[in-house]
Amino acid sequence: MADNGHGAQPRVWLETYGCQMNIADSQLVTAVLRRAGYAVAARPEEADVILLNTCAIREHAEERVLGRLGDLARLKHARPQVKLGLLGCMAQHNRAALIEKAPWLDLVAGPDTYRRLPELLGNSGFDPAVDVRLNRAETYGDISPEYESGVRAYVTAMRGCDKFCAFCVVPYVRGRERSVPPADIIREIRELASRGVKEVVLLGQTVNAYRCGDAGFGELLRMVAAVDGIERIRFTSPHPSDMSQRVIDAMASEPKVQPYLHLPVQSGSDRMLAAMERGYTTEEYLDLVARLRAAIPHLALSTDIIVGFHGEEDDDFRATVELMRTVGYDSAFTFKYSVREHTRAHRLGDTVSEAEKARRLNEVIALQEGISLERNRAIAGREFPVLVEGPARRGTGMLAGKTPQFKTAVFPARDGIAPGATVNVRVESATAHSLVCALA
Ligand code: 5AD
Ligand code: SF4
């Protein structure tokens, strides 16, 4: 059992950066450490172990973590016995540079080494304990992550990525694609349902590439839909090339699978899509969107867009703007291209200036704000079932939850309406990011 040197239970503080996969991984890490005798600290100042679970997707993400590491170094200076560790994608991405920049780190552990954390933390040598081996068999399927309470829970269905898009570091830091066995996923979800979770979000870097024996992602959706107590199923992120008819059919025929899809397009230029090695053309993507919309009524769509990729000319960018208008996404996550070491596009470097990237980014953000607002206003007067999550962030006496389309709805609280309930609301007014509703 772990011990903090004074015979008491050691306490760990864990901060999470980046995507939902990292949030899910942090819950796994917490479970691993609890099993080994650690407790969760209420504040970093009272922790014996401080861990940062990090993201390497863009340079900005790494800079944030390096800044935070600087703050924590001061804390460690005051209390040298505190162990400071870095987990996740950044640990995997740049361990050597990292240890050089932050020599006070005690631990550097990549995403496939979390089972070993108690052992790595037990290392009392002078050098940091480092384990960044990737393991194509590791799914952590047997470990139940520690869930925070709430009506929604994230469940890892697959790990890693085999797509190797030219701009993306994920396949290098998270390793090869592997799926969690269905039995493990279903056991996990049953447990969640018994604790009052109503909605599960299946996670994977290319979640619809899920495959375990005979079961593809469509089959997995149907198995999850058969779990009593689970009312809503979502998943993120699917890859357009893996959006098979079986998956579309499962979405269309299983009422629990919600009519919302995050379908990253990245660019509206075929030249850029080819350079990015995305594996589809705009025509194929638009055809997929049309088939999805035909099969799933009132489907909401969101996407990821990268502006300023290597070689992106004004014409390419205009094609992206055009595609965004054509599809009419409900929302979009937009990014300036960030050159990442190890990727295929790394050696090509940057051709678009920072100022031009910023200009293009601002344009797509403004465009999407307008489209989102228009789409949200267009549903004024309509009714939706909303899964209640809790008090709205703004507005006292208001509750918030999501519509099936994953839009945030706020509405007046009323006695007897508690988190986990589903209520019908009518949309009264809308902003680009939320719906103001009345109880229907
Ligand atoms: N630069 C900018 N954005 C990136 N993404 C992935 N890699 C990069 C990069 N090097 C974006 C993609 C992806 C999302 C998770 O992050 O749009 O879909
Ligand atoms: Fe990165 Fe492409 Fe894999 Fe998505 S599909 S994680 S963008 S390599």
Print the SS3 string covering 159-208.
ECCCCCCCCCCHHHHHCCCEECCHHHHHHHHHHHHHCCCCEEEEECCCHH
Tens digits of residue pLDDT in 245-304: 999 999 999 999 999 999 999 999 999 999 999 999 999 999 999 999 999 999 999 999
Q: Is the pLDDT of residue 100 over 90?
A: no
Question: Is the Cβ atom of 260 under 6 angstroms away from ligand 1?
Answer: no
| Token code pair at residue 57 | 């997707």
Measured distance CA(17)–CA(67) in Å, rounded: 13
Tell me, using a 6 A CB cutoff, whether residue 165 lines ligand 2. Answer: yes
Nearest-ligand number for the alpha carbon of 265: 1
Mutate to test the pocket of ligand 2, among 19, 168, 207 (most ligand atoms within 8 A of CB): 168
pLDDT of 149 above 90: no
Residues 37, 20: Cα–Cα separation, whole Å: 26
Q: Report the atom number in ligand 1 closest to the C-alpha of 168.
A: 7
Structure tokens at 100: 């050089």
Dist. CA 161 → ligand 1 center (Å): 13
Residue 148 is given by DSSP the state: P
- Please determine, for residue 1, whether its predicted confidence score (pLDDT) is greater than 60: no
Q: Is 87 in the pocket of ligand 2 (CB under 6 A)?
A: no
Out of 58, 174, 239, mutate this one to test ligand 2's pocket (max ligand atoms within 8 Å of CB): namely 239
Instruction: Report whether residue 163 contacts ligand 2, using a CB cutoff of 6 Å.
Output: yes
pLDDT band for 68, please (50, 70, 90 cuts).
very high
> Does ligand 1 lie within 6 Å of residue 58's CB atom?
yes
Q: Using CA atoms, how far apart are residues 103 and 69, in angstroms rounded to an integer? A: 11
Which atom of ligand 2 has the smallest separation from the CA of 239?
A: 5
The average confidence (pLDDT) of the chain is 95
pLDDT higher than threshold 90 for residue 334: yes
Q: What is the Cα–Cα distance from 243 to 241, expressed in whole angstroms?
A: 6
Half-sphere exposure of 299 (CA within 13 A, CB side): 22
Report which protein residue has its CA nearest ligand 2's atom 1: 168
Ligand 1 binding pocket includes 337 (Cβ within 6 Å): yes
Task: Convert the pLDDT of each residue in 170-179 to its tens digit.
Answer: 999 999 999 9
Q: Tell whether ligand 1 has an atom less than 6 A from the beta carbon of residue 340.
A: yes
Write down the residue that tokens 């944030």 correspond to. 64
Ligand 2 centroid, distance to 214 Cα (angstroms): 24
Give the number of whichever ligand sits closest to the CA of residue 264.
Answer: 1
436-440 average pLDDT score: 96
> Residue 335 CA: which ligand is closest?
1
DSSP per-residue codes, 68-108: HHHHHHHHHHHSTT-EEEEEEHHHHH-HHHHHHH-TT--EE
Residue closest by Cα to atom 18 of ligand 1: 304
Q: 247: which residues sit within 8 A by CB, 6+ positions away?
A: 208, 216, 217, 218, 221, 238
pLDDT at 341 over 60: yes
264 close to ligand 1 (CB < 6 Angstrom):
yes
- 57 pocket-lining for ligand 1 (C-beta < 6 Å): yes
Tell me what pLDDT residue 396 has. Answer: 82
Q: Is 178 in the pocket of ligand 2 (CB under 6 A)?
A: no
Q: Round the CA-based radius of gyration of the chain to a whole number and report it.
A: 23
The proportion of the chain whose per-residue pLDDT surpasses 70, expressed as a percent, equals 98
**Contact call for residues 384 and 411 (beta carbons, < 8 A):** no
CB of 164 within 6 A of ligand 2: the answer is yes
CB of 266 shorter than 6 A to ligand 1: yes
* pLDDT digit string, tens, across residues 212-228: 999 999 999 999 999 99
pLDDT in the model for residue 355: 98
Global pTM value? 0.95
Statement: residue 6 has pLDDT above 70: no
More reliable by pLDDT, 102 or 158: 158
pLDDT at 3: 63
**Res 393: pLDDT:** 87
Ligand nearest to the CA of 333: 1
Whether pLDDT at 124 is above 80:
no
Question: Residue 7's pLDDT is what?
Answer: 67
Instruction: Give the span between the Cα atoms of 379 and 393, in whole angstroms.
Output: 22
Name which of 70, 40, 160, 68 is nearest 110 in CA terms: 160
Asked if 186 and 73 touch (Cβ cutoff 8 Å), the reply is: no
Mean pLDDT score, 355-376:
98
**Those residues with Cβ within 8 angstroms of residue 134's Cβ, 6 or more apart along the chain or in another chain:** 92, 110, 111, 112, 174, 175, 176
Q: Phi, psi (5° rounding) for residue 377? A: -65, -30
Pocket test for ligand 1, best of 17, 21, 57, 365 (most atoms within 8 A of CB): 57
Ligand approaching nearest to the C-alpha of 62: 1
Asked whether residue 377 carries a pLDDT value surpassing 70, the answer given is yes
The yes-or-no verdict on residue 5 having pLDDT over 70 is: no
Identify the nearest ligand to the CA of 171 by its number: 2
Q: State which ligand 2 atom lies nearest to the alpha carbon of 206.
A: 5
How confident is the model over 239-248, as pLDDT tens digits?
999 999 999 9
23-57 pLDDT, tens digit each: 999 999 999 999 999 999 999 999 999 999 999 99
Residue 304 near ligand 1, beta carbon < 6 Å = yes
Give 102's pLDDT tier (boundaries 50, 70, 90): confident
Measured from the CB, is residue 335 less than 6 Å from ligand 1?
yes
Query: Which atom in ligand 1 lies closest to the alpha carbon of residue 264?
Result: 18
Quote the pLDDT of residue 48: 95
pLDDT at 384 over 80: yes
**In the prediction, which pLDDT does 359 show?**
98
Ligand minimally distant from the alpha carbon of residue 176: 2
